[in-house]
Amino acid sequence: MPQSPSLSAAARRSLSVVSVVSLAILASGLYFAPERAWSNLLAAALFLLTIGLGGTLFLALALITGAGWHVAFRRVPEAMAMIVPLTGGALLVVLALGAQYYAWHPHGDVGTFWFKQFWLTPMFWFARSAAYVIIWSVLGALLVYRSRKQDTAPVNVQQHTGNVRLAAIFLAVYAITFSLASVDWLMALDPMWYSTIWGIYNFAGMMVATLAVIVILCIVLSAPGRPLHGVFTTEHLHDLGKLLLSFSCFWMYIWFSQYMLIWYANIPEETSHFVTRTIGPWGPVVVASLVLNWLAPFFILLPRPSKRSRSVMLRVAVLILVGRWVDVWLMIFPSTLGDTPAFGIWELAAIACVVTAAPLLLARSFASAPPVPVHDPFLPESLHYHA
């Protein structure tokens, strides 16, 4: 297997410079425009963390469904899973820096319900957040570690059963902790509003973005001369395209489920979320989010040839990542900044930071293992796969 670095030294250097500079700009923003800079930091950290966590989720789902098709490119979601500790740590730093932007902090307005007051106690809130990140990091690292152990020793059935069991544990833990995390980190920005579908809505957005990142990385890494060339085939791309299409529809479905029930019932304490977002200057941003995350990908990805075309899939994946950014933005900014959207140096710095930090982190973790899990029992199946 040819092992060539996926990023050249020059590219690595310029990416590092841009990401450090943009991070420094954002850090200085905490002094000049604290609310906006902090909101951008939260969006950036959340965006990166959910991509990493999505990689772990993809691995666990594949293991528990007994999937063999993905093994040829499994090192890609594994590389994503490995960025969870770092991005999760970054998110915890952001939370620690900005606890005062959560409306309930320090003696805010959370209503009179005793459980809510207890649940949103700042120390408990932060300890919980740290616990989520630690749990995800440990379980993800275990999944990756066990997969890499297969590279050196022949695999036995017990080992594979153990992997499946670990994946099952991760999925159960993930379902609960991620729901709670999305409530703690995003819904708590506006503590008087609540939606019981919030957790799954965040899961849907995370899954679409994860698949888009897997598609981009696989296409880039399978270019001629790159480690996955000839290993990641059009058949794999086709299946990723199907998943991307279906999860894009799933995101739209969940978005609509949340919107329609709130619109129908028309209870003021529930509608506040959508009143801020759909009426006034945020309205066009919501429309852009729907077009980027569902409408455009849906019609582009529907025909079979576009799911088998590298250039089309690459563009749709980028489109969806832009949509995911707008989606994250819409969850955070109207709550922290109010009715008027703003776009300027802080927003640009956050985007620059994510766009440069993601390839750096992912390339580093991808290069730390052989690019193909050579001893995996499902590898032959994956290499001869027909979609």
Partner 1 sequence: MSSRVLIATFDHEDDLLAATTAVRERGLRIMDVYTPYAVHGLDRAMGLKPSRLTWVCFVCGMAGALGMLWFEHWTAAIDWPIDVGGKPWFALPSDAPVAFEAAVLLAGFGTVFALFGVARMWPGKQPRKIYPRTTDDRFVLVIGETNAAFDVQSVEQMLTKYDVLKVEEQLVT
For tokens 């079979």, name the residue: 304
Q: Which stretch binds partner 1 (CB under 8 A): 181-189, 220-228, 261-269, 375-383?
A: 261-269
Among 127, 168, 176, 260, binds partner 1 (CB under 8 A): 260
User: Please, which residue, 203 or 255, has the CB nearer to partner 1?
Assistant: 255
What is the closest distance, in whole angstroms, from the C-beta atom of residue 381 to partner 1 in the complex? 12
Measure the CA–CA gap between 32 and 49, rounded to whole angstroms.
26
Contact 370, 1 (CB under 8 A): yes
How many chain residues touch partner 1 (CB under 8 A)? 10
Two tokens at 46? 């959340």
Q: Which stretch binds partner 1 (CB under 8 A): 76-84, 178-186, 257-265, 342-350?
A: 257-265
Measure the CA–CA gap between 101 and 35, rounded to whole angstroms.
7
386 binds partner 1 (CB under 8 A): yes
256 binds partner 1 (CB under 8 A): yes
User: Please, which residue, 164 or 387, has the CB nearer to partner 1?
Assistant: 387
Contact 358, 364 (CB under 8 A): no
107 binds partner 1 (CB under 8 A): no
Q: Quick one: which of 359, 356, 364, 363 has its CA closest to 17? A: 356
118 binds partner 1 (CB under 8 A): no
**315: Cβ–Cβ under 8 A, 6 or more apart, which residues?**
none
User: Please, which residue, 25 or 254, has the CB nearer to partner 1?
Assistant: 254
Counting Cα atoms < 13 Å in the Cβ hemisphere of 116 gives 17
What is the closest distance, in whole angstroms, from the C-beta atom of residue 301 to partner 1 in the complex? 13
Measure the CA–CA gap between 11 and 56, rounded to whole angstroms.
27
Measure the CA–CA gap between 370 and 144, rounded to whole angstroms.
12
Q: Quick one: how far is CA 333 from the chain centroid?
A: 18
Among 157, 266, 268, 311, binds partner 1 (CB under 8 A): 266
User: Please, which residue, 36 or 273, has the CB nearer to partner 1?
Assistant: 273
Among 193, 259, 333, 378, binds partner 1 (CB under 8 A): 259
**334: Cβ–Cβ under 8 A, 6 or more apart, which residues?**
276, 277, 282
Coil, helix or strand at residue 74: coil
Among 153, 224, 264, 267, binds partner 1 (CB under 8 A): 264
Using CB under 8 A as the binding rule, the residues of this chain from 287 to 346 that contact partner 1 are 302-304
User: Please, which residue, 159 or 257, has the CB nearer to partner 1?
Assistant: 257
Q: Name the site residues for partner 1 (rule: CB under 8 A).
A: 256, 259-260, 263-264, 266, 302-304, 386
